[in-house]
Structure 1
Amino acid sequence: MTATTPAAAPAPATVRPAPTGRTVLRLHRGALIVWLVVVAAAAGSLLWAYGPGATEIYANWRRGCPDDIDACTWDTTINGYYRAVRLPELALSWLCLPVAAWAGAALTGREMENGTAKLAWTQSVSPARWLVGKLAVPAAVLTAGTTVLVLVHRLTFEANPFPVYLTWSEREVFVANGSVALALPLCALALGALTGLLLRRTLPALALGTAVTWGVVRLTALVTPDLWPWKTATASLESEWPATAGDVPFGDQGMLTDTGARIPYPNCGDDFEQCMADHHAVAFYADYHPASHFWPLQLVETGILLGVAAAAVATAFWLLRRRTA
């Protein structure tokens, strides 16, 4: 008799983790397409302002003020150039709100509400890895696109110093020129995702994530100027205003007494000299940030936003681990 050799049992198939990065891109390809269109349109607008638009506006500028820049006159030709620069600045400044809404509603809130997140956790994807994919992929895409727009904006802003721009410290210009533009969407992404995990409902997470992000952005913008030391300009009582270099953001303003104390502007009425003597005022003063403070202010605000983002991400992982323990 021939011995029968039992067939070897097939080796168990290796379970490979689901490709969460590609899954996130596939599930949210609509948002990805919208983001790519926004980046392309904003970059194209800024490049037009850097090249052909600048040539046309420069010719118009020289016709309107050939000798004295302070006496320049402009016609409606400047409006197209202004919009081409201003709209990308607004997009960079307020991109954080739609990002927070999308992160809270579509990225986490909807999947927690309809149960697809729990289904993914049973398909060889751990809750932590699921959340990493949900945050890391959008963060990389947002950072890449925003970096391109910031670089193109700086190129346009520095190459064409027409008096069409508001000052460097004007909010939208300030954001679009530096690292704050990169930190804003990352902070919004983290806050939106956290609200989605916390509420586990689409519409409430959308509303709360957007509201919290708006509050954080506004509060950060308000406190940042006071977190870097102000410079102080003074002027005699015969002057109208302390001299500063160009248009700058101002802080505290008022009068200096003969002891060096600061007092607010008094209501003097008609007799200015007697009023100054009564208050022992000897000079005007004004706190301000010169242009050299641009990068310190940028880094302070960027640090606050990234700190909030890190805290939100840490809280999200803690919350997820507690609910799935």
Structure 2
Amino acid sequence: MSTLTGTPVATDAPASRRPRLSGMTWLVWRQHRAAYLTLLGASVLLLAWIVFQRHRMIDFLTGYGWPASGLDDLGTEFAPYAAAFGPVSAALGLIPVVLGVFVGAPLLAGDLEHGTAKLVAAQSASRTRWLATKLGLTALVLTASTGALSVAFGWWWAPVKGQTTVMDWTSGAAFDTTGPVPVALTLFTVVCGVAIGVVLRRTLTAMVVTFGFAVAAQLVWGELRLALGDVITVTTNKGVLAEDSFPVLPDAAHQIDQSYLTGGGELLGWSTCVESETEQARELCLKQADVVGWSVDYLPMSQMAGMQWLGAAILFALTAAVVAFLFLWGRKRLV
């Protein structure tokens, strides 16, 4: 009908306006999209598993009257649900090492080894912009994936957070997989891997060296983890042999050390007088040593969030320093 009257007929529908990558961002995404999509896809699968395990655990706890009733009487029936945390926390703990080796090390080393960096430098875009886009887009994907996994794992653990039989909050299984620590550890390891790749300029060599560095960094971090907290000391003065003589610590507190306390304020090792053959001999030995009570050093669980943020801040600062090195190096030697 419209043809007869001469009314024009629209033949093309208006193009849909969707956000699209362009320029340098599009180039970097196209170059590394396999790694980015693999990381995001694996994160989605792990998130789904965490959600499933959390709902499974909550169904079990609800059947026992949680949260109105405590969790101390669950016994061995809760063991399978507690054991489910182990494999997931182990997988999350490996993420910084794996991403440092397979994402960080090849990120620029591959371009330097195969001459892609020279091709980019010959274009109108500056090397600084190229480096910033590479690091920025990679950091965005890493932060989104590890941040989501950290939140989900913390959400799963929250109902049984105070149960040391599930996970000790000072261990890497809990401390390094919740809060800001996973993001900070991953970014630090990956950026250091990028720096190693830039210096060595060989992909395979950079991956091997980055693996060694990442493992060493994890070991050092594990040794320094407790130093982030403010150790609290509690003492008693009612002897050490009575049943109620040992100080009562907060729930889930991590005990660092314990010693005998003398009347003069000196500390003796808890093994003092342990060689006494009888209880009476031991009591006499302790009396001669002027032991009046216990001195116990511990970290309360209430410090966990503060310790995590302090540790993350240190890691973020180190990451920023490595990024500054990359930009200073890249201005002259990135081709």
Asked if these proteins are the same fold (TM beyond 0.5), I'd say yes
Mapped partners of 2:162, 2:201: distance in 1: 49
What's the CA shift for 1:105? 3.3
Q: For 2:119, what is the secondary structure of its paired residue?
A: helix
What's the CA shift for 1:178? 0.8
Asked if 1:291 corresponds to 2:304, the answer is no
> What is aligned with 2:28?
24
> What is aligned with 2:137?
137
Q: Give me the identity figure in percent.
A: 26
Paired AA for residue 152 in structure 2: V
Is the CA contact (8 Å cut-off) linking 1:104 and 1:202 kept in structure 2? no
Asked if 1:272 corresponds to 2:282, the answer is yes
Is the CA contact (8 Å cut-off) linking 1:57 and 1:78 kept in structure 2? no
Stretch deviating more after TM superposition (161-170 or 263-272)? 161-170
Is the CA contact (8 Å cut-off) linking 2:170 and 2:226 kept in structure 1? no
Is the CA contact (8 Å cut-off) linking 1:20 and 1:133 kept in structure 2? yes
Q: 1:119 to 1:68 in 2, by over 3 A?
A: closer
Mapped partners of 2:71, 2:255: distance in 1: 25
Matches within 5 A, 1:119-138: 119-138=119-138
Q: For 2:235, what is the secondary structure of its paired residue?
A: strand
Report the TM-score, using the length of structure 1 for normalisation: 0.82
Q: For 2:176, what is the secondary structure of its paired residue?
A: helix
Is the CA contact (8 Å cut-off) linking 1:110 and 1:200 kept in structure 2? yes
Mapped partners of 2:333, 2:322: distance in 1: 16
> What is aligned with 2:9?
none
Instruction: Kindly provide the CA deviation profile for residues 257-291 of structure 1, in whole angstroms up to 9, marking residues without a partner as x.
Output: 22223333344201322432444332222211112
Q: Give me the CA root mean square deviation.
A: 2.8
Paired AA for residue 295 in structure 1: A
> What is aligned with 1:6?
none
> What is aligned with 1:11?
none
Instruction: Kindly provide the CA deviation profile for residues 227-276 of structure 1, in whole angstroms up to 9, marking residues without a partner as x.
Output: 43211123441257432112322223322222223333344201322432
Q: 1:72 aligns with which of 71, 74, 77?
A: 74
Mapped partners of 1:234, 1:248: distance in 2: 15
Is the CA contact (8 Å cut-off) linking 2:117 and 2:334 kept in structure 1? no
> What is aligned with 2:189?
188
Q: 1:20 to 1:88 in 2, by over 3 A?
A: farther
What's the CA shift for 1:104? 4.2
Mapped partners of 1:265, 1:50: distance in 2: 41
> What is aligned with 1:203?
204
Unmatched tracts of structure 1, length 5 or more: 1-17
Is the CA contact (8 Å cut-off) linking 1:150 and 1:181 kept in structure 2? yes
Q: For 1:123, what is the secondary structure of its paired residue?
A: coil
Stretch deviating more after TM superposition (148-157 or 286-295)? 148-157
Is the CA contact (8 Å cut-off) linking 1:234 and 1:243 kept in structure 2? no
Paired AA for residue 204 in structure 2: L
Q: 1:249 aligns with which of 248, 251, 254?
A: 254
Question: Which of structure 1's runs of 4+ aligned residues deviate more than 6 A?
Answer: none
Q: 1:39 aligns with which of 26, 36, 43?
A: 43
Instruction: Kindly provide the CA deviation profile for residues 142-177 of structure 1, in whole angstroms up to 9, marking residues without a partner as x.
Output: 111222222222322224669562233332122222
> What is aligned with 2:166?
165
What's the CA shift for 1:128? 1.6
Paired AA for residue 179 in structure 1: P
Asked if 1:50 corresponds to 2:54, the answer is yes
Stretch deviating more after TM superposition (192-201 or 235-244)? 235-244
Unmatched tracts of structure 2, length 5 or more: 1-21
Q: 2:326 aligns with which of 316, 322, 325?
A: 316
Instruction: Kindly provide the CA deviation profile for residues 91-124 of structure 1, in whole angstroms up to 9, marking residues without a partner as x.
Output: 3322100111024432122221222112211122
